[in-house]
A and B are shown apart, each in its own frame.
Chain A
Amino acid sequence: MIGDDEFEALLHEAGGGYAVPTHGPDEILSAASPPTSGAKVVRGRFRFRELAMAGVSVAAVVALTAVLLTSSGGSPAVSTTASRYAKAYALAGNGLSKSVLGALVSRHSTKATTTTTTGRDIIAKGTLRLRTTRAALRRDVARLTALAAEFGGYVSAADLAETGSHPGGTIVVKVPAGSFSAFIAKAEGIAKVRSLTTSDTDVTAQVVDLGARLTALVDERGQLEVLLGRAGKISDLLSVENEVEYVQSQIEQIQGEQRTLAAQVDYSALTVSLAVPRPPHVSGPSTGFGHAWHEAVAGFVNGVKALVSVLGDLLFAVLSFIVVALIVYGLWRSVWPRVRRRIA
């Protein structure tokens, strides 16, 4: 068994073999924040934030109450969402519930106004199939591109082939949602329309849900920041810090989803398919050895067909004769003896 002193000597030898980076401590200290009290900064910042949120909350509660009393035509879904949050945070019963509730109600009141004035969030899409010619393909694509620009849109993807056995292709045009119908009407005039399909997807609920989740996460992050300022034990500090990082990543993910959804709502996509009909296949006159070969094969086939035809007719005639002869012979054999007896 190795003794304590031996372990100590061995581990010091093992640890002492690692060269310590000389720049290490200086880099860390220079990267650290300016010499202000970190925890105190958090607390001080939040005091100001709490005061601001409290002020906003009072104004928002007053505004919301006025809206609910004077207007019964507001969005019931939004009112339900706001009241759900109000109930949840009232049940939470923590010190921040009033300010958080105020901020939430304020945000949802704003959302309600936005929804009422701008309508629902719709993603519009469509597919337009046009028939063109090989010669007009390039011109039609240019006209579609110019038309998209005219409506404030752009070509987001294109897959076209001007040559080859299958000329034509597809381009995806994105135009502002408000101009989508007008753009389709103009695009239909570019070439002969084979088919047109459009679809609308209502994502209002999804948008509201993302907004609510973001609001809740932002508030959660705020509460964690308060906890960061109040925690004394390093284990608490580290666990809260990890939680803040997780919540921050969730916030960024939702913000990304919101951006994607907003882009789809703002710009409608029309997939334009340009097809060039294939000309009917016409085989030209053949010449040379190929021609002779084809002629020979055709002659041989025709000869066999004629032979089969002639032999078939001959065989039929022979068989018919044999049948008739057999019948006559049978009749002769059965009738002739009686005739002979009578004569005799």
Chain B
Amino acid sequence: MNRAGQDISGLEEWMKSWYAPAYRTACLVLNDSTGAEEAVQEAFLRMWRFRDAMPDGEAARPWLYRVVVNSCYSWARKEWGVDGRRAPQAALESLAETSPGPDEIALVGDRAAVVRVALARLPEALRVPIVLRYYAGLSEKEIAVAIHRRPGTVKSRLHEARRLLSADATLSPFAEEEEGTQ
């Protein structure tokens, strides 16, 4: 049984309910809100066009993120002229330069910006799994479906991404803070 058997209004409601998580996931992947909006729009249009192929139940969520991630890759390839698997280094550098420093951010309490910059520094192959794992809440198996990689690959990428983020000096104060609050 798939979504083709359901009524259109139900599908519309389902898509509306998943728009915000999909949009924010795309924002974290691309680090570009405009690009994220376009990518999610394209992803939802694709889902609408191919709704007959849409799986039902729990399988719908990884399918949704798969379409969103693919749209993000397409957008990046089109806009940045790279293979879509890597954010342009220049863009990341400019982002890091224009973003406030850790001390400044700590003063105003904007941890979100620091995390975004730290994520943007990660290679895209590592950034996508960690966003899907810790923001979208997908399991390793679901991430493997979403990015079309083996679960073992996903596991190693998640481990590497966690290691790099833990070693990131800009995030260490937050880790201590979290530890301190526990």
Contacts and interface: CB of A to CB of B under 8 A. Distances in A.
B39 to A, nearest CB: 12
Contacts of A5: 178
Interface in A34-52: 35, 37-40
A11 B48 contact: no
B96 interface: no
B37 interface: yes
Interface in B42-74: 44-46, 48-53, 63, 66-67, 70
A33 B178 CA distance: 48
A1 B174 contact: no
B165 A2 contact: yes
Contacts of B137: 8
B89 interface: no
A28 B41 contact: yes
A28 B174 CA distance: 38
B40 interface: yes
Nearest to B110: A17
A284 B99 CA distance: 79
Q: Is the interface of B mostly helix, strand, loop or mixed?
A: helix
Q: For this complex, into which size category does the number of interface residues on chain A fall? A: 35 or more
Given A7-B165, A235-B148, A13 B115 contact: yes
Contacts of B20: 20
Contacts of B175: 2, 6
Contact of A28 (B45, B51, B171): B45
A6 B51 CA distance: 36
Contact of A25 (B16, B113, B119, B165): B16
Nearest to B148: A235
Given A3-B178, A10-B111, A39-B52, 12 more contacts: A7-B134, A10-B134, A11-B134, A16-B24, A18-B36, A20-B20, A20-B24, A24-B19, A24-B41, A27-B41, A29-B15, A234-B66
Interface of B: 4, 8, 12, 15-16, 19-20, 23-25, 27-28, 33, 36-37, 40-41, 44-46, 48-53, 63, 66-67, 70, 111-113, 115-116, 119, 130-131, 133-135, 137, 148, 162-163, 165-166, 171, 174-175, 178
26 contacts: A1-B163, A2-B174, A2-B178, A7-B130, A10-B134, A10-B174, A11-B28, A11-B119, A11-B130, A11-B131, A13-B115, A14-B115, A16-B112, A17-B112, A18-B23, A20-B19, A20-B20, A24-B19, A24-B23, A24-B37, A24-B40, A29-B12, A31-B45, A32-B49, A37-B4, A234-B50
